[in-house]
Structures are given as structure tokens and as C-alpha cells.
Copies of this chain bind each other. A is one copy, B any other.
Amino acid sequence: MTDGSSDGGVTSVVYQLAAECTVEDIEAGECYTATVNGVVDYGVFVDLSEHVSGLLHESVLPSDYDDEYGVGDELVVELTEIRENGDLGFEVADLDDYEVEERAFSYERAAAGALDGRVGETVHLEGEVVQVKQTGGPTIFRVRDETGAVPCTAFEEAGVRAYPDVDLDAVVHVTGEVEEREGALQVEISSLEALSEGEAAHVRERLAAAVAERSEPADVDPLVEWPAMQELYPDLREVARQLRRTVLESRPIRMRHHADGDGMCASVPVQLALERFIDETHEDAEAKRHLLKRLPSKAPYYEMEDATRDLNFALEDQARHGQKLPLLLMLDNGSTEEDTPAYETLTHYDIPIVVVDHHHPDPEAVDPLVDAHVNPYLHGEDYRVTTGMMCVELARMIDPSLDDELDHVPAVAGISDRSKAEAMSDYLDLARSAGYDDEFLHDVSEALDYEAFWLRYSAGRDLINDVLNVGSDAERHRELVPWLAEKAQRDVDLQLDAAMPHVEHETVDSGAHLYRVDVENYAHRFTYPAPGKTTGEIHDRKVEETGEPVITIGYGPDFAVLRSDGVRMDIPQMVSDLNDEFPGAGVSGGGHLVVGSIRFVNGMREEVLDALVEKMADAEIDEELHSTLTR
């Protein structure tokens, strides 16, 4: 056995065992580097590692072996046999040409997600550090492998960071004892080491593969057959995949959504789907609170102040809880150029951005800054595919168990945004078969608006769930909605009682009716409905009253809300023209076709409004844009 491997050009391999290797790591027939640790009258004892040693019997050694070998000498041996009693027999390996290869300690990897029955055992974990939290006592490393994540505690000194070289995202080998603490499992670290680059790459690959598999979205079909939605499906699947992956990687998600009906219909189902997926994949019952936050945005774009606040919170959470920086998920908001300054703040930090919106997008400005951007306009569709409709599909891809609970939501979303999508009748049918008649759906939409107003900057999770009946008590929903809708209507009536007598009318050149009203001076302030909605309600009444093309302008000291029906508005063009005409008016704003708003400086209001009205007078009549109010 000592010469077979020396022939030809074949290079033999000699293994150098890592110090912690055991007999589990060796095999008869292989060669190893060894160190003499004793020369006795029946042979030579050698050590292969701290735990592996054995004898070269005098019978396989030259007769003058006791002259040849001394303690501490190094040699290459071949393992000839592993006896039943565990003793190892070696020979001197006779190799002309060989390469030494290191052999690592081969521990049996435990699964972080399956330590349940192993309390008291010492286990080995390999994974990525996804959180490092310094407590007043031990340092807690949350280690994730392909099966789950588990907190591992190391104690150096009270409040002192253990293993200061091991940081977030390191790939490590943890040895430690499984413990139960307050009923939750954790591993008390006895050793923690960062893996070598090569080993880490292996682990990362394994993790990536596992994550890739688990982040695969559910294979669902759209709730209704609709080519427009079909077109958006691949984009939505990609977002579903990214959100699931984000959860699996224990990265928090910060969800910002437009605080109106469609925005609620979009965000609430996705919130619920993500909460369930977090529950499913994280041991900690509090995880969904740490990993997911839903935040309403009052403005129709991502304000610099909100972005600064979001970033500030993210950095604090990172500093205090060792959490990763979040992913930002923009819903029913985020597609426009106005969002980009805020996005740019975040891109200087490691914060991915995902947008699902149906407002007229500016992909040239937005796309370079975001990881994903789903918008019907990017597929030749338009705002009639509301964000709520898309996000119901998205939520079902994330958690298909939601299926039955969302049948009424797209219809509410469509009603809220007055969508005239062809699929609306299918969505209404779907809602009807879930027990929702049209009036009740309108009530839900009104109730959402009403509660969003009073909640201001609060998400009002449970309250809104009750109003929308997503993850809620159906009976309370049935009772609550009509009552809220009635209150909302009463407040609208009160507001319009004050405002209506002050609405000014003229018929413009195009033949359209033009109404204007000062909503700052002739409506109650700081109460429901706010100026935008007040203007919308006035407009709707006038459309109904006249049955003809109508333009409505509700204005305050430094803003105007625009609504049109049967008239095509080109707001970006008007803003641009107004800026040329009035250089010191600071006009800005946006919108599309039938709805929009502009801002200006107080002192230029008269000039801007007069010019605006003139432009409106010239706006083209377009019967296609004449709404058939669904109510």
C-alpha cells in the first residue's frame, strides 16, 4: 500500500487535519501529515490533530526506527485501518510527489429552524449574521441559515461587545448549547468564528438558493380575467419575490402609501400578507412589529420631510437594535419626478426602493433610483388600473391564503379612484358574490376616506382593517361602515352648505361650465372634508346638476385644486406656461386629464388664478372624459 500512488504523473493528496478534527474526519487509505509524540519499543505514536492519534507499529517501521524518529518530527502517514476498538493503524506513506490540502473539522450542521427538540445539546450552526444587538448583558447575534434564524448569545463582560470583529452580514460557524429562555430558543455561544472567504461563499450560495426557493411567489391567477392586469403580472410577481426575499433576509420593510381609499386598498392587503409571511418564517412573535411598518403619506408624493424621518428612524433602529436598514415600499405613490429628491436621500444609504403606483409616471427620473417600478402607464395602460387592484394581486402572490378575504377590495379601490376600467364590472360582480352590494362598497370607500382624515399620520391598523374588512371581524365591519359613511356624508353636507353659496359660475369659450370657489374662506378649516375633497364634491354635484362639461377650481391662499369632466386638461403644460408668464409666482403642480392641483406663492394668487381660468377656457372638450357617475 505504500507505493501504489507514486507512479505516473499522478500527484497524491496529503491531508493536514484542522486541530479540532476527530475520527469522523478521516478515512482508511488516505494520507495525512502527522507529528511524532512518542517513540516506544513497539512503535511510534503520532498525532494527526488534537483528537486523532495512533501507532505506527514496529512491524511497519524500519528496525532502526528509534534512531530515525524523535518526538516532534513531522512525517506523512497513511491510515491503514480503524480497528473495532477505535485504535488507528498507520504506515509511513511513501509518496514522491504530493500536495498538502487542509481538511476542516467536519461538524454536523444543525438547522437553525429546527432546534426544538435539542435543548441542552451542543450544536453547530453555519449561517449569516442578520442582527447584532448589544444588551446590558450579553451580545446577541441573530444567525440565519437556510432553515431559519436563531438568536445566539455571547457574554464577554456586562454590556461589552463580544466578538467585536464579527459584524452584520458576516458568515459564521457557531458552536454552542441550545437553551430555552423565557420559552424561546437560543444558542449560548461557546465559540463563534467567521468562516474563511471560500467557506463563506459556499454558505452564501446555499442560503441564496434556499432563499430563492422560499421567496418564489405563489402561483395564482388574477381574480378577474383582464388583459391589462395580465400584462402587469410579471412585474408584480417580481415585486412579490423581492418582498418575500426581504422578509426571509430579516430586512425590515417600511411601507409608505397614499392616505386615500385606493392607497388603503393597496397597502392593507399587502400588510396582512407580509405579516402572515413574517409569522410563518420568524420564531419571534414580535417580528412583524419590528419588520413591517405601514405609514400613510398626506402628500401625493414622497416628501423630503417624510424621507428624512424614515431615514432617521432606520438609522436609529440600526444603532439601537442592530437591524438592517429597511426596504422602502411605495404604494399608490412614488412614480413621479417629485418623489426623486427624497429617493436620492435614501440611495446614499443601503435602502432599496420598490414602487407600485398608477399615477402618471416619470420613468426617466424614477427608474435609475429604484429597484422595481410597477405602473400601468409603463405598459400602455393608465390610472384606471388602480394600485389597489394591483396590490390585491400582489398580496395574493405573497400569501395565497388571503384569497377569499380580498374579493371585495378591488371594487372598493376602483370606486375610490373613480376608475372607469372595463374590469370594474367584473370586480363589482366579484364583490357582489362576496356579499357586497354597490351601495355598501361606496360606503366602505367613504368610510376609508373619513377615517384616514381623522387618523392623520397614524396607520390605525386595526381600525382600518375593520373598515376595509381585511383580517377583521366581519360583523363589526358590517355595523361600522354604514355608520361612518353616514357621518362622512353629514360632514360633507355641512361643508357644502357653507361653500355652495359662494361658488362662482361662468360659461367659458369652449362651452364648458367653470366653477370656482375659495375653499379657504368659504369652508371650515381643519375638519373633514379637506379642501381637495370639498372641491371634488362640489364638482360632482355640478356635473350631476348640469350633465354638461364642467371645470371646477377650488382655491386657497397658495394652492388650487382642479377637477374637470368632459374637458381635457393638460396640467403640466399649464404649469409650464404659468411659470413663463409669471416668473415670481413659483408655480408648481401636476395631475392628469381630469384631476390635478397646483401651488403658487400667496401674493400672486389673483394673477395665477385669472391666467389659469383663461387657459381652462381654451381646454378641449372631450366627451370620452365625461363621467357616468356610478352612483
Contact = CB atoms under 8 A, between A and B. Distances in A.
Contact of A463 (B311, B455, B462): B311
A304 to B, nearest CB: 5
Interface residues of A, number: 82
A545 B558 CA distance: 30
A395 to B, nearest CB: 20
A177 interface: no
Given A305-B456, A584-B501, A599 B524 contact: yes
Interface stretch (A40-48, A363-371, A381-389, A475-483): A475-483
A279 to B, nearest CB: 8
Nearest to A523: B601
Contacts of A614: none
A497 B580 CA distance: 12
B341 A487 contact: yes
Nearest to A558: B525
Nearest to A480: B348
Counting chain B CB atoms within 10 Å of each CB, the highest count among A134, A463, A494, A525 belongs to: A463
Interface stretch (A73-81, A100-108, A182-190, A438-446): A182-190
A518 interface: yes
Interface string A451-469: 1001110101111000000
Of listed A158, A456, A494, residue having the most chain B CB within 10 A: A158
B135 A155 contact: no
A558 B341 CA distance: 32
A458 B309 contact: yes
Given A159-B184, A159-B283, A480-B348, A584 B499 contact: yes
Contact of A183 (B135, B497, B601, B604): B135
A181 B344 CA distance: 45
Interface in A297-318: 304-305, 307-309, 311-312, 315-316, 318
A319 B522 CA distance: 42
A180 B156 CA distance: 12
Contacts of A522: 584, 601-604
Contacts of A583: 497, 501
Q: Which of A184, A286, A487, A525 has the most CB of B within 10 A?
A: A184
Interface string A344-374: 1100110000000000000000000000000
Nearest to A304: B454
Contacts of A502: 584, 603
A158 B136 contact: no
B497 A315 contact: no
A120 interface: no
Contacts of A282: 159
A348 B451 CA distance: 14
A547 B540 CA distance: 56
Contacts of A558: 524-525
Interface in A315-359: 315-316, 318-320, 341, 344-345, 348-349
A267 interface: no
Contacts of A308: 451, 454-455, 460, 463
A284 B159 CA distance: 5
Contact of A524 (B183, B309, B451, B601): B601
B463 A312 contact: yes
A476 to B, nearest CB: 7
Interface in A466-510: 476, 479-480, 483-484, 487, 494-495, 497-502
A585 interface: yes
A348 B283 contact: no
A602 B520 CA distance: 7
A157 interface: yes
A487 B344 contact: yes
A459 to B, nearest CB: 9
Nearest to A313: B458
A139 to B, nearest CB: 9
Contacts of A462: 312, 315-316, 318-319
A622 interface: no
A586 interface: yes
A338 to B, nearest CB: 12
Interface in A600-624: 601-604
A521 interface: yes
Given A138-B182, A462-B319, A518 B344 contact: no
Contact of A116 (B157, B180, B319, B476): B157
A137 interface: yes
A149 B147 CA distance: 40
A135 B285 contact: yes
Contacts of A138: 182-183
A243 B602 CA distance: 48
A285 B484 CA distance: 39
A153 interface: yes
Contacts of A479: 348
Nearest to A341: B487
13 contacts: A138-B183, A155-B183, A158-B284, A304-B454, A308-B451, A312-B462, A315-B461, A497-B584, A497-B586, A499-B601, A520-B602, A523-B601, A524-B599
Interface of A: 116, 134-138, 153, 155, 157-160, 180-185, 282-286, 289, 304-305, 307-309, 311-312, 315-316, 318-320, 341, 344-345, 348-349, 451, 454-456, 458, 460-463, 476, 479-480, 483-484, 487, 494-495, 497-502, 518, 520-525, 528, 558, 583-586, 599, 601-604
Given A289-B320, A501-B583, A521-B601, 18 more contacts: A135-B183, A135-B285, A159-B284, A159-B285, A304-B528, A308-B454, A309-B458, A312-B458, A315-B461, A316-B461, A349-B476, A497-B584, A498-B586, A521-B603, A522-B584, A523-B601, A524-B586, A524-B601
